[in-house]
Amino acid sequence: MTTRVGFVGLGTMGVGMARNLAKAGFPLTVATRTAGKAETFAHEIGGGVRVAGSAEEVARASDVVVSCLPDAPEVEEVHLGERGTIRGAASGTVVVDCSTIAAEAARGIGKRLADAGFAFIDAPVSGGQKGAAEGTLTFFVGGDVLALEKASPVLAAMGKRITHLGPTGAGQLGKATNQIVVAGTLVAVSEAMVFATKAGLPLPDLHAALMGGAASSWMLDVLGQKMIARDFKPAFAVKHQQKDLAIVLATARANGVPLPGVALAHQLLSSLEAHGRGEDGTQALLTVYEELAAAAQRR
């Protein structure tokens, strides 16, 4: 691989994505805002990965810079800050942001990078930690088609589906749409698991049956199994889902679209946050329904 790739952000999703880039043979330079994470990653890969002290250094060593960060302020800092990508990138560099942020924020960041001579693609992902580790992510892409052409081999090393949806910001709107479906399905799977438990059904057998019929979905498959195992470790934390749903609801209000299902999911997840469980995986929503069922039985 001759395209030099930089990666900033080695969190729950980013570490798997960067590992697949290294596996694909791209010359890779990494940086992270948490001290020591980049060094640990490079050591685990076992050579061939360069560690940089800032996004500026990453950009100097890269043709394509990929970021995967918590929210818009971090994306702005990494790409537009004093030691950001914008300070070290050469003309023609493509910046690919895989974070989930508001479409308006993506447009603003993209414009400032474009004014400086760099292409920007917003490419948020779906597929969770499992998809990041296995290289099967879905990318919702907004931005210039020629820039996407240059970045496509990089994205293909991390995912299986790359869909261009329009100009900058369109990728974020696609991801917001995805999160509407995710929120509704999370609520449905949580309700179903509690219903089946109270009815005395054997959950592993029921889960297999449901996956063979019309109820089958990624959420039921992956999170349903975690609920049955009572595994609430975060593959995708409640606090991150809440951030995404806040973006969805704000965008919906701006466009005059009522989303009562998303609002319900947002409020139910707020209950987990109120109990200090924002770091739990979203499958912990099951326990909110268990508490509601227990309260109903006490009446």
> What's CA 211's distance to the chain center, in Å?
24
Q: What is the pLDDT of residues 232-290, one digit of tens each?
A: 999 899 999 999 999 999 999 999 999 999 999 999 999 999 999 999 999 999 999 99
The answer on 256 and 194 residing in a single domain is yes
pLDDT in the model for residue 102: 98
pLDDT confidence tier of residue 1, bands split at 50, 70 and 90: low
Question: What's the CA gap between 54 and 80, in Å, rounded?
Answer: 12
The answer on 144 and 50 residing in a single domain is yes
Scanning the chain, the segments in alpha helix (DSSP H) are 14-23, 37-45, 55-60, 72-80, 85-88, 103-115, 128-134, 145-156, 170-198, 203-211, 218-229, 238-254, 260-274, 285-298
Number of domains in the chain: 2
Residue 228 exposed, middle or buried by CB count within 10 Å (0-12, 13-18, 19+): middle
The answer on 178 and 163 residing in a single domain is no
Q: What is the pLDDT of residues 111-170, one digit of tens each?
A: 999 999 999 999 999 999 999 999 999 999 999 999 999 999 999 999 999 999 999 999
Average pLDDT over residues 69-89: 97
pLDDT in the model for residue 49: 96
The answer on 142 and 22 residing in a single domain is yes
pLDDT in the model for residue 174: 98
pLDDT in the model for residue 196: 98
Question: What's the CA gap between 57 and 293, in Å, rounded?
Answer: 54
For the chain, the average pLDDT equals 97
Residue 3 exposed, middle or buried by CB count within 10 Å (0-12, 13-18, 19+): middle
pLDDT confidence tier of residue 47, bands split at 50, 70 and 90: confident
The answer on 206 and 156 residing in a single domain is no
pTM of the model: 0.95
Of 167, 189, 210, which one is at a domain's C-terminal end? 167
- Count Cα neighbours of 65 within 13 Å in the Cβ-side half-sphere: 34
The answer on 155 and 17 residing in a single domain is yes
The answer on 130 and 102 residing in a single domain is yes
Residue 175 predicted with pLDDT over 90: yes
Q: How many CB atoms lie within 10 A of CB 262?
A: 24
The answer on 258 and 128 residing in a single domain is no
Q: How many CB atoms lie within 10 A of CB 104?
A: 15
Q: What would the two tokens of residue 237 be?
A: 């934390």
Q: How many residues does the chain have?
A: 299
The answer on 59 and 32 residing in a single domain is yes
Of 145, 167, 189, which one is at a domain's C-terminal end? 167
Of 115, 134, 167, which one is at a domain's C-terminal end? 167
Which stretch of DSSP H or E encloses residue 199? none
Here the CATH number for the domain that contains residue 284 is 1.10.1040.10
Catalytic residues: 175
Range of the structural domain that residue 123 is part of: 5-167
The answer on 193 and 147 residing in a single domain is no
Q: What is the pLDDT of residues 5-39, one digit of tens each?
A: 999 999 999 999 999 999 999 999 999 988 899 99
Query: Which among 121, 88, 85 has a CA at the least distance from the CA of 106?
Result: 121
Here the CATH number for the domain that contains residue 66 is 3.40.50.720
Question: What's the CA gap between 193 and 227, in Å, rounded?
Answer: 8
The answer on 288 and 141 residing in a single domain is no
The answer on 34 and 111 residing in a single domain is yes
